[in-house]
Amino acid sequence: MSIKELLFAVADIWMVAVGFTYGIKFIRNYRNYLLGIEWIVVATSGTNFLIYGLLKAGHDSPMYTFAYFLDAFSRSVGITLILVLGLMKVTHRYKPSATVDIGAFALAGVVGFVLSTYAEEIGTPGKIFYIVVNVLTTFFLIYFSKRLWDIGERGHAVWAGVATACGFLIAATYDFVHIPGDDAEHTIFYIFALSTWGLQMFAYYRAYRAFDAYNRRFDAQAVTDDAAVTA
């Protein structure tokens, strides 16, 4: 195994570990199925991608087709609309119904299937679509980082901001930039991409946890203040 392949494996394992660990924690600790399941989807994609890379399977492999679908799933709706709805649980006290949860993932499944199955027919408009939805999501994540800063969670705000900036850079170059010296499988690019996606999931979970803790303290103080007024 070359150094490049080793770095790819390390980056992928990092992303998989973060995705499964914090995906489960989102569900178990916060009942946030939107973020929890999406984190697990990304981890599953990374697991499939790792096996695909280690086995050096070809593009005719079912693993490649599955990887392409999961990639489209997350880039189109998963780490865009689903991410925003999930984070709104702490930023706006939004409580999505089971219908919203199921509908969001059903939409991601349909869009992911169309964009992966008909990628060649759709061509450049599909690639531009990925960038547009990422830009819209980035605006919300900048707002999310600012809210963290405003409530005093400045460390988490900085890390969320850094992760968002790195994620935007990866999304902007994904389909349009080839790193000089990279191979046909874009191994160097994926080392950076997988590392970044792992960082995003790690930073957003920790920021979410801090925001939720702030909301709980705020609610407790409000109850205390109301009790003092009525006493």
Domain residue limits, the chain? 3-230
pLDDT digits (tens, 9 = 90+) for 186-196: 999 999 999 99
**pLDDT given at position 231:** 64
- Collect all residues with Cβ–Cβ distance below 8 Å to 55 and sequence separation of at least 6: 63
- Collect all residues with Cβ–Cβ distance below 8 Å to 179 and sequence separation of at least 6: 186, 188, 189
For the chain, residues with pLDDT lower than 70 are 226-227, 231
Token digits of residue 17? 């570990």
Cβ 144 vs Cβ 158: under 8 Å: no
**pLDDT given at position 60:** 83
Alpha carbons within 13 angstroms on the beta-carbon side of residue 44 total 15
pTM of the model: 0.95
> For the domain 3-230, what is the CATH superfamily, name and number?
Rhodopsin 7-helix transmembrane proteins (1.20.1070.10)
Cβ 115 vs Cβ 128: under 8 Å: no
Tell me the CA distances in angstroms from 44 to 22, 96, 160, 210, one per residue in order. Answer: 13, 24, 23, 26
- What is the Cα–Cα distance from 89 to 101, expressed in whole angstroms? 13
- What is the Cα–Cα distance from 186 to 182, expressed in whole angstroms? 6
Task: Using CA atoms of 29, 171, 129, 26 in order, give the dihedral in degrees to the nearest 10.
Answer: 0
The SS3 of residue 96 is coil
Largest CA distance in the chain: 72
Token digits of residue 193? 């991409």
**pLDDT given at position 31:** 97
End-to-end CA distance of the chain: 71
Cβ 35 vs Cβ 217: under 8 Å: no
- The DSSP call for residue 61 is S
Residue type, 86: G
**pLDDT given at position 173:** 94
Exposure string (b/e) for 207-225, b if CB count within 10 Å is 16 or more?
bbbbbeebeeeeeeeeeee
**pLDDT given at position 58:** 79
